[in-house]
Structure 1
Amino acid sequence: MNVLILLATILFILMAVVGGKKGIKSFIALLLNFAVVIATVLMMNDPNANPILLTLVACGIISAISLFYINEINSKTKMAFLATIITSLLLLTFIFFITEKSMIYGFSEEESDSLTIFSSRIGIDFVKVATSVIIMSTIGAIVDTAISITSPMREIHEQNPDITRKDLFMSGIRIGRDILGTSSNTLFFAFFGGYMGLIIWFKDLSYSMGEIVNSKVFSEEMITILTAGIGVALVIPIAAAITAYHLVSFKHSKE
């Protein structure tokens, strides 16, 4: 606990020194989002609760905190929030389908030994829980990409008010292409960084490459990463289209 407090203190000091007031707000937003996640997990313990609905509400709150609390309510955060919600809803059905067909829900074979003393009849739909986990895992990357698209697009429009909607949209797409590569690499290496111990364990158990790829615990994380990548790729044209339409239409309405 002392180590966690020390690291949190160092993070807060660095964010305050480097980011100033916005850095402090970002740290507070991190704590608020953590509280939202914990509250969502606790509410899932109710057998009558719908994990997917709870997760969607939580993602909406997390997006609002990350966008509106840190960057205030303005055109770029409104468009980023709308793009995030639309992308999440589009991914929902796809994630549920993939989760059910791939059968990655529940506990893996590697985790079964430590769970033998517990009852698996807990009255919760593990398909919905697995879907919720993937949705929650993708929301951060989607929000980050959305604001990274809408913010420079607004700056481009302010510097060039006469830009056409098509040119502004294409500017957003070009920005998104640069973000897409780095975001995909971040998601990919975050998996291998967090699961390096698991990969070493696979090696010690002499798992073949086929056994590694087909293991539930590996497949679950890879599906999460790939789904997050799909979400990042989807939010780029959605955010660019919404922002271009809003900024150009708003300009015309003022005229």
Structure 2
Amino acid sequence: MRQLLAILLTPFALASLVGLVVLFPTGDAPAVSSSGLTPVDGTVTAAQAGPCSEGDVGGTDCLTLTVQLTEGAAAGSDIRTTVPLEPSTPRFAVGDDVVLAYNGGEPLSGQSYQVVDFQRGFPLVLLAAVFAMAVIALARWKGLSALAALGVSIGVLVVFVLPAIVRGENPLLVGITAAGVIMFAVLYLTHGFSARTSTAVLGTMVSLALIGALSALFSAFAALTGLDEETATLVGVLGREVDTRGLLLAGIVIGALGVLDDVTVTQTSAVWELRAANPSLGWRELYAAGVRIGRDHVASAVNTLVMAYAGAALPLLLYSSVSGVGAGAILGSQDIAQEIVRTLVGSIGLVAAVPVTTALAALVAVREVSPATPRTG
């Protein structure tokens, strides 16, 4: 059975590696249109509210900030700049570490800078460290493997996916290749080379193929262009034509991969443990018991997926709800419709992953797990 799994999976693993080599970005990145602004860090040392200009009575209020620059041509110097006090602008205060946009003018002139955001490097690094310690404390060596696998996933996205798309490669091909590489690398690195892991990989691959096919079908059927606000900004920055629908499909495939891994690994492990606990169970009994476990899992996973997308799109949903147009127009808009397709297609893939992976796991487990086979922790 292990040889059969290897025969089934080897061509797809080789195809992922070949795609990685063929599509891997080489050479210099193409020039993109730039705003001419350079980010510079600084710390707010003083803040005073008042009119935006002298003699402006009853006009717009501004916050005049004194910022000590910590980098750039004027590092160590203080500059004064104003920030409009509007509902859409952040509220800065003394002691805040901020990011300024420098336009290339006189380094000591406040008019050459604009405060645009807060510095968030240290809180994010601290949170990542707490997350890593929590994972290792609970899962120990397997947690360490999971963190290494997470590093591989991030590396594939940063080193391969983003540069390849920027250099003009087909986004859908890049997304499919990245999903294949991440799937093989993450599952085997986290769970080891075994028939159990190979079964989970096969179930993930089948479900991912279904998601890709449904995404392509319904994005075309619903006339989704992929041109939401962020993608339109990207096209403007790149200054050339981009396959935005392919970019949308690539995002759906890569986004569904993480949840699929969870479902397929859980189903495979459940079937293996059921067989080890009761070696008399045959394929039908293992399949029926595994599907009963999977029903509860997939019900919660689908809700998680929907809530994750709804939470990410909450500002857009709020804006649409107060825009004064009907629900049909809101749901049919590009931004909302593509999230609906993304959510429902991903959920269909999750639902399909349970019976598919459970059936594969039951077929393999009855041949791999015998009364003499020790249980794995």
> Taking structure 2 as the reference length, what is the TM-score of the superposition?
0.61
In 2: Cα distance, 1:121 partner to 1:96 partner? 26
In 1: Cα distance, 2:271 partner to 2:233 partner? 50
Indicate the larger mover: 165-174 or 58-67. 58-67
Task: Report the counterpart of residue 24 of structure 1 in structure 2.
Answer: 144
* Structure 1 unaligned regions, length at least 5: none
Task: Report the counterpart of residue 205 of structure 2 in structure 1.
Answer: 85
Q: How many percent identity over aligned positions?
A: 22
> Does the C-alpha gap of structure 1 residues 115 and 71 become closer, same or farther in structure 2, counting only changes over 3 Å?
closer
In 2: Cα distance, 1:78 partner to 1:16 partner? 24
CA offset digits 1:37-96 (Å, max 9, x no partner):
22212212233x332222222112222233111111122211000111122223322211
Indicate the larger mover: 125-134 or 79-88. 125-134
* Structure 2 unaligned regions, length at least 5: 1-120, 373-377
> Does the C-alpha gap of structure 1 residues 179 and 194 become closer, same or farther in structure 2, counting only changes over 3 Å?
same
1:206-225 counterparts in 2 under 5 A? 206-225=324-343
**Partner SS for 2:166:** coil
**Partner SS for 1:134:** helix
1:133-172 counterparts in 2 under 5 A? 133-172=251-290
Q: CA deviation at 1:224?
A: 0.7
> Taking structure 1 as the reference length, what is the TM-score of the superposition?
0.88
Q: 1:60 aligns with which of 164, 180, 183?
A: 180
Q: CA deviation at 1:20?
A: 1.7
Indicate the larger mover: 157-166 or 114-123. 114-123
In 2: Cα distance, 1:248 partner to 1:242 partner? 10
In 1: Cα distance, 2:291 partner to 2:137 partner? 33
1:109-120 counterparts in 2 under 5 A? 111=229, 115=233, 118=236
> Does the C-alpha gap of structure 1 residues 75 and 130 become closer, same or farther in structure 2, counting only changes over 3 Å?
same
Is 2:155 the counterpart of 1:45? no
In 2: Cα distance, 1:98 partner to 1:173 partner? 28
Is 2:344 the counterpart of 1:226? yes
**Partner SS for 1:83:** helix
| CA radius of gyration, larger in | 2
Question: Which one has more relative contact order, counting CA pairs under 8 Å at least 6 apart?
Answer: 1
Q: CA deviation at 1:211?
A: 2.4
In 1: Cα distance, 2:353 partner to 2:243 partner? 29
> Does the C-alpha gap of structure 1 residues 250 and 30 become closer, same or farther in structure 2, counting only changes over 3 Å?
closer
Q: CA deviation at 1:119?
A: 6.9
In 2: Cα distance, 1:175 partner to 1:125 partner? 40
Q: CA deviation at 1:188?
A: 1.1
Say whether the 8 Å CA contact 2:235–2:241 is kept in structure 1. Answer: no
The one-letter code matched in structure 2 to 1:235 is A
CA offset digits 1:123-150 (Å, max 9, x no partner):
3322222211111111111111000100
> Does the C-alpha gap of structure 1 residues 23 and 119 become closer, same or farther in structure 2, counting only changes over 3 Å?
closer
Task: Report the counterpart of residue 23 of structure 2 in structure 1.
Answer: none
CA offset digits 1:92-128 (Å, max 9, x no partner):
22211111221222323xx28x849927862332222
**Partner SS for 1:44:** helix
Task: Report the counterpart of residue 218 of structure 2 in structure 1.
Answer: 98
The one-letter code matched in structure 1 to 2:172 is I
Is 2:314 the counterpart of 1:193? no
CA RMSD of aligned residues (A): 2.4
Say whether the 8 Å CA contact 1:105–1:129 is kept in structure 2. Answer: no
Say whether the 8 Å CA contact 2:215–2:342 is kept in structure 1. Answer: no
In 1: Cα distance, 2:369 partner to 2:136 partner? 36
